[in-house]
Amino acid sequence: MPSLAHPFEDILITTVDDGPFFIDELFRRKFAHPAPEFGHAVIAFYRRSRQHFIPLCYVNFLPYDEVILVGGGMTDGRAFEQMGDGLPDRIRASGGMLYHVLRFGFDRFKDECEAYFGHAGDARAYEVDLKAGFEPTGHQYLIAHFHKPVTAQRKAQLIGKIHAIGPF
């Protein structure tokens, strides 16, 4: 049965305790350095068979004081090549796997932070980030998702604080 977070029977989005165990090779290929061993690793797995699960998409949710920094988002295009039955087209039509992983993380960690922040320099990822709930902050690449009611003053404080730490 499909998850409530997405409509795909052979996809599982979950948190894992040791993200690098599952996605280090893909992370190194995408970002040219090891996967982070900190934060909450959220991974979408494609179930090719009952014994074969393929990491499809990853995002790191890193608690930072009263917010969560969201980064390292990536999808493995090679995993889509192993899917059948029009699944890749259905995933794309529903917003893409990154969209679903972000939405899962936003829901999963909603009680652990005041807001989520991301740093999106890739145009394609930025478009998905906005669809998932992020909004521009007025600072290049810095995006925020305020999932709880906050005043304009508090938004400005949080944005200033996260902007001050630089890219993450």
pTM of the model: 0.93
Please give the Cα distance from 67 to 158 (Å, whole number). Answer: 8
Topology adopted by domain 11-165:
Aminopeptidase (3.40.630)
What tokens were used for 128?
């998905």
- For residue range 90-141, what is the model confidence (pLDDT) as tens digits? 999 999 999 999 999 999 999 999 999 999 988 899 999 999 999 999 999 9
